[in-house]
Amino acid sequence: MTRPAWDWRLSDLASVPQNGLTVFSCFACGGGSTMGYKLAGYTVLGNVEIDPQMMRIYQQNHSPRFTFLMPIQEFKLLPDSELPPELFNLDILDGSPPCSVFSTAGAREDKWGAEFAFREGQAVQRLDDLFFDFLDVAEKLQPKVIVAENVKGMIVGKARGFVSLILSRFREIGYRVQLFLLNSATMGVPQKRERLFFIAARNDQPFPALKLEFNEQPVLYGEIRSGEGKKINPDSATYERWQKKRPSDLNMGDVTEREEGKTSNFNTILLKDQKVANTLASSSVFLRVDVPQHISERDAIRIQTFPADYDFLDTDVQYVCGMSVPPLMMQRIAEQIHLQWFK
């Protein structure tokens, strides 16, 4: 019996036909994008990552040839002589610049242009600059294609000004760029995760306009549900609210607003078997609606389409998954780039 696409193993990569194309990944985190490219037949040469913990996990699971544990700001300043020549002949430069300052949750504008000790790499930095640092790397390496992923919030409200600046920078360094807002639920991922993708071709590449249209059958939570989750503490306020939920409630915020007149807990999702899971964020909470339990770690792995044999070492499973691009989402994109541009 053939396993569904979301139920896969790192060991499956050994049987994937190779397409001869190379990728280098910036802000690699746990390697969600890396696994997507590998599933599509690409060779991922290595990565840049600021977080030592994430780097250990990346090396454990992906065995990169070239790996750089440093901020992107330092990597872009390395002399060409200190970089492997393969990086100057890349097919794709991939990157997911940390994006929490563009999230639509909270007073995000308060963080723009200021330095904060963000969780990404436990470093004090300006996250709204990192996309431009990434493009400086692209200018240095001159890959044929650039793929950058970010949150939908970049095209909402005042953040659109940042997007205009980013598009201008793409053009300045010699690339023509397209924007795609994609929902992973249409791409075989058991999760409603909307993400913005900047996909750019170097001006000397004779590629037509890329078309990305996905309409796969949604994968419901009940199809991937597995194992026992951590029980909700029966003495907690969460348990009391969980008991007061109604069939129409989508999250604990609905309960809190109705029962207590407070606007809070909207990030605690009530997950139903007949629904597609919401975005798995590193800080979100998913509760099963039919039993007083959190989802299981195996659920989180499947929702994010990480492989069943991924070694998380001593790191929180949901944090690694929530910070990463779903491998299956990137696989679908990488396949189309290969078919429409390189094949």
Q: Which two tokens stand for residue 138?
A: 């692209």
> Encoding tokens for residue 222?
């009940």
Using H for helix, E for strand and C for coil, what is the string for 283-297?
A: CCEEEECCCCEECCH
Structure tokens given for 97: 């610049």
Catalytic residue list contains 99: yes
CA distance 102 to 99: 6
Q: What angle do CA 166, 168, 170 make, to 5 degrees?
A: 70
Choose, from 26, 29, 99, 321, the residue flagged as catalytic. Answer: 99
The one-letter amino acid at 8: W
Give the pairing of strands 194-202 and 145-151.
antiparallel
Q: Checking DSSP bridges between strand 22-26 and strand 43-49, what pairing results, if any?
A: parallel
| Cβ within 8 Å of residue 12, ≥6 positions away | 307
Torsion region of 31: left, alpha or beta (phi above 0 gives left; psi -120 to 50 gives alpha): left
Question: What's the half-sphere exposure (Cβ side, CA atoms, 13 Å) at 128?
Answer: 20
| Other Cβ atoms within 10 Å of 31 Cβ, number | 29
Q: What residues are labeled active site?
A: 99
